[in-house]
């Protein structure tokens, strides 16, 4: 096992596969209290999306387990809202999400503070109807309708779950004048309503994923020059109508890594490069945003996507950092110094693959958080909280999926100060370290053993609390913490999720397990 020195006071890895097999622990290198500080992420680093189409009701990515056919779905004629140019068979109608549901609120609040992003492709063409008088059919130039009651529900939900609201605005034909220029009429309506309702929009992208203008409903002639014109108009609107709101962008997607075998980007409609968008706008954003998907799901790319056997591969694991570094280079060139926000991400675009709801994806989920925090991405917003196969929660029962339990442990154990755990590549073992939240001097080390056979051993020099996530198989929809299955109780309350206390010694990392080791007595100077 080839590992660079890991500067962990209490952690060391075996230096060779042979020593693992012989069960001989390695010698500790540095004391955990000396782990140096790498940086700081936003205290809402781990965040999530609720798509606009979930709020309004409409056709979102059809779950693989769905038994509905296109012909027997209800209300499809009245709710035909879906992205342009994509097959209707990919989508399924949902009624508006119940943001007053106590279980949904309870589980979302457990991840707070967070950012709640209400956006997505559907937001680009959603008409705002504050008084509820427009009916279900949107006016010309729009595809969906957001009522004042629904938006008030978003504002109330955000407040109840300790989430700062992030959104985007309509940009479709209905928002444009006779010359095709974007006007802030719809944005003004939302801004006025939000203010009068006592709400607050923390940040906004004007357009969701402007790199695909035809899917956005912007037409074949929309280009980087038009984008720059829209962004500058949006900045003027925001300055006068939503002071204090961060203007975030450009929000590109589909670049920086191969999304599918044999394809460099998402196939299909014309694509605008983020570089061209930035050349046209110049420095225009308070935070630099991008979207990150390491693959396109089999839903949109049948027969050509990855499979569960690839879910723990080095290639899969490398995508998030590769994409982030691509966009960071553009940020450095065109908008230097601005914080990096990954405002939409999941296992795969188009609703995720079937294993996005299984334990297999939990390794990617946590490794992505660790990698992005380590290289300086400030915010990471998972898509979605509770819809389609990549939701953290089952959309019908709100039962937590494995990624939710991982998110909850990250939230409780990994604070905003990022420490340098050294290079942990090789043999599918990955280490990350953060200061513990609300524990002065405390350190948590996250150890991800994605190998299916080896059992690396860590040597500890301090007492620690152990939290190990495991499952009977990678395709399990349930996960165990220290050998006990995690689930809600009869009242839909979360379990206590306490770690097991151990004296200093050695820890074996079983194959395909994820372990948090919390050291509250580390007394790390960077964590005080």
- Quick one: pLDDT at residue 26? 30
Query: Are 442 and 436 within 8 A, CB to CB?
Result: yes
> Do 289 and 433 belong together in one domain?
no
pLDDT at 169: 97
- pLDDT, tens digit (0-9, with 9 covering 90-100), for 144-161: 999 999 999 999 999 999
User: How high is the pLDDT of residue 469?
Assistant: 98
For residue 268, what pLDDT band results from cuts at 50, 70 and 90?
Answer: low
- For residue 69, is pLDDT > 60? no
Average pLDDT of the residues in 297-312: 82
Flag whether 413 is in a domain.
Answer: no
Quote helix, strand, coil % in the chain, to nearest 5: 30, 25, 50
Query: pLDDT: is 456 or 259 the higher one?
Result: 456
Show Cβ contacts of residue 163 under 8 Å, excluding neighbours closer than 6 positions.
Answer: 44, 47, 108, 112, 113, 114, 115, 116, 157
Same domain, 25 and 126: no
The verdict on 484 and 354 lying in the same domain is: no
Q: How far apart are the C-alpha atoms of 392 and 407, rounded to whole Å?
A: 9
Distance (Å, whole) CA 205 – CA 381 = 14
Nearest CA to 218 out of 277, 291, 166 is that of 277
Residue ending a domain, among 384, 405, 437, is 384
pTM above 0.85, yes or no: yes
Question: How far is the CA of 201 from the CAs of 77, 120, 124, 188, 329, in angstroms?
Answer: 32, 16, 17, 13, 28
| Boundaries of domain holding 322 | 46-384
Structure token pair of residue 96: 């508006």
> Quick one: pLDDT at residue 300?
86
Percent of the chain with pLDDT over 70: 88
pLDDT for the residue 305? 59
Confidence of residue 14 (pLDDT cuts 50, 70, 90): very low
127 and 199 part of one domain:
yes
pLDDT reported for residue 17: 33
Domain boundary among 384, 400, 428: 384
Domains in the chain: how many in total? 2
Query: Average of pLDDT values for 20-35?
Result: 48
Domain presence at residue 83: yes
What is the predicted pLDDT for the residue at 31? 67
Rounded mean pLDDT, 484-513? 95
Instruction: Look at residues 359, 384, 409 and tell me which one is the last residue of a structural domain.
Output: 384
Q: What is the mean pLDDT of residues 89-98?
A: 93
Question: What pLDDT is stored for residue 137 in this prediction?
Answer: 86
Residue 2 has pLDDT above 50, yes or no: no
Same domain, 293 and 194: yes
Whether the pLDDT of residue 25 is over 60: the answer is no
Q: Which of 144-158, 186-200, 211-225, 402-416 has the lowest mean pLDDT?
A: 211-225
Does 10 reside within a domain?
Answer: no
Answer yes or no: is 395 within a domain: no
pLDDT digits (tens, 9 = 90+) for 412-467: 999 999 999 986 645 789 999 999 999 999 999 999 999 999 998 888 889 999 99
pLDDT of 306 > 90? The answer is no
Confidence of residue 88 (pLDDT cuts 50, 70, 90): confident
DSSP 242: S
Question: What CATH code is carried by the domain that includes residue 273?
Answer: 3.20.20.80
Torsion angle of the four alpha carbons 260, 265, 266, 267, in this order, in degrees rounded to the nearest 10: -90
Q: What is the structure's pLDDT at 426?
A: 57
What's the pLDDT at 216?
A: 83
- The predicted model gives 471-493 an average pLDDT of 97
Residue 396: inside a domain: no
As a whole number, mean pLDDT of residues 201-210 equals: 97
In 3D space, the residue among 157, 171, 166 whose CA is nearest the CA of residue 342 turns out to be 166
Does 100 lie in the same domain as 222?
yes
116 and 256 in a single domain? The answer is yes
Dmax over CA atoms of the chain, in Å, equals 76
DSSP secondary structure of 110-158: TT-SEEEEE-SGGGGGEEEETTS-S-SSPPTT-SEEEEHHHHHHHHHHH
> pLDDT band at 20, cuts 50/70/90?
very low
Q: Verify that 377 and 435 share a domain, yes or no.
A: no
Q: Are residues 136 and 206 in the same domain?
A: yes
Q: Do residues 479 and 495 touch, judged by C-beta distance below 8 A?
A: no
Give the CA distances from residue 437 to residues 43, 375, 527, in Å, rounded to whole numbers and listed in that order: 10, 20, 9
Does 66 map to a domain? Answer: yes
Residue 133 has pLDDT above 90, yes or no: no
**To the nearest 10°, the Cα dihedral for 341, 342, 343, 349?**
170
- pLDDT at residue 422, rounded to an integer: 82
Pair (34, 71) in one structural domain: no
- Which residues, 6+ apart, have CB-to-CB distance to 491 below 8 Å? none
What CATH number should be reported for the domain holding residue 497?
Answer: 2.60.40
Least confident of 58-72, 105-119, 281-295: 58-72
Q: What share of the chain has pLDDT > 90, as a percent?
A: 77
Same-domain status, 141 and 33:
no
Mean pLDDT of the chain: 89
What is the phi-psi region of residue 463: left when phi exceeds 0, alpha when psi lies from -120 to 50, beta otherwise?
A: beta
Residue 457 near residue 13, CB atoms below 8 Å: yes
Question: Can you give the pLDDT at residue 161?
Answer: 98
**Domain-located, residue 466:** yes
Identify whether 43 is preceded by a cis peptide bond (ω within 30 of 0): no
Is position 3 within any domain?
no
85 pLDDT tier (thresholds 50, 70, 90): low
* DSSP symbol at 436: P
**Same domain? 517 vs 371:** no
């Amino acid at each position: 096992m080839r590992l660079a020195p890991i500067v962990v006071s209490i952690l060391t890895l075996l230096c060779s596969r042979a020593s693992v097999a012989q069960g001989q622990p390695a010698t500790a290198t540095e004391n955990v209290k000396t782990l140096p500080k790498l940086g700081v992420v936003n205290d809402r680093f781990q965040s999530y999306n609720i798509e606009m189409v979930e709020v309004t009701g409409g056709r979102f990515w059809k779950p693989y387990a769905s038994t509905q056919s296109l012909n027997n779905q209800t209300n499809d004629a009245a709710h035909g809202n879906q992205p342009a140019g994509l097959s209707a068979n990919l989508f399924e109608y949902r009624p508006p999400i119940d943001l007053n549901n106590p279980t949904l609120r309870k589980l979302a609040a457990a991840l707070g503070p967070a950012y709640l992003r209400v956006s997505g492709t559907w937001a680009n063409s959603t008409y705002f109807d504050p008084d509820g008088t427009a009916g279900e059919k949107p006016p010309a130039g729009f595809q969906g309708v957001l009522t004042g009651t629904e938006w008030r529900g978003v504002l109330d939900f955000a407040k109840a779950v300790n989430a700062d609201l992030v959104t985007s605005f309509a940009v479709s034909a209905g928002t444009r004048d006779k010359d095709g220029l974007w006007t802030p009429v719809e944005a003004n309506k939302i801004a006025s309503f939000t203010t009068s309702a006592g709400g607050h929009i923390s940040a906004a992208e004007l357009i969701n994923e402007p790199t695909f203008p035809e899917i956005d409903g912007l037409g074949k002639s929309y280009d980087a020059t038009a984008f720059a014109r829209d962004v500058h108009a949006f900045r003027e609107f925001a300055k006068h109508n939503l002071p204090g709101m961060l203007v975030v962008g450009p929000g590109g997607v589909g670049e920086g890594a191969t999304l599918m075998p044999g394809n460099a980007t998402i196939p299909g409609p014309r694509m605008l490069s983020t570089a061209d968008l930035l050349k046209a706008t110049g420095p225009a954003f308070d935070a630099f945003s991008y979207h990150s998907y390491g693959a396109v799901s089999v839903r949109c790319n049948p027969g050509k996507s990855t499979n569960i056997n690839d879910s723990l591969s080095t290639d899969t694991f490398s995508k998030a950092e590769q994409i982030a570094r691509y966009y960071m280079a553009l940020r450095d060139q065109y908008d230097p110094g601005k914080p990096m926000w990954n405002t939409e991400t999941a296992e795969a675009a188009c609703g995720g693959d079937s294993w996005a709801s299984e334990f297999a994806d939990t390794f990617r989920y946590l490794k992505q958080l660790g990698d992005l925090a380590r290289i300086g991405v400030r915010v990471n917003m998972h898509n979605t909280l509770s819809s389609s196969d990549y939701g953290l929660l089952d959309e019908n029962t709100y039962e937590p999926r494995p990624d939710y339990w991982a998110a909850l442990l990250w939230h409780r154990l990994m604070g905003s100060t990022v420490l340098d755990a050294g290079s942990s590549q090789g043999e599918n073992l990955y280490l990350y370290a953060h200061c513990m939240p609300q524990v002065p001097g405390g350190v948590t080390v996250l150890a991800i053993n994605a190998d299916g056979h080896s059992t690396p051993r860590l040597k500890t020099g301090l007492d620690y609390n152990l939290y190990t996530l495991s499952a009977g198989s990678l395709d399990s929809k349930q996960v165990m913490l220290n050998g006990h299955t995690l689930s809600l109780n009869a009242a839909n309350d979360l379990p206590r999720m306490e770690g097991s206390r151990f004296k200093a010694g050695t820890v074996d990392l079983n194959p395909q397990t994820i372990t948090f080791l919390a050291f509250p007595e580390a007394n790390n100077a960077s964590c005080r």
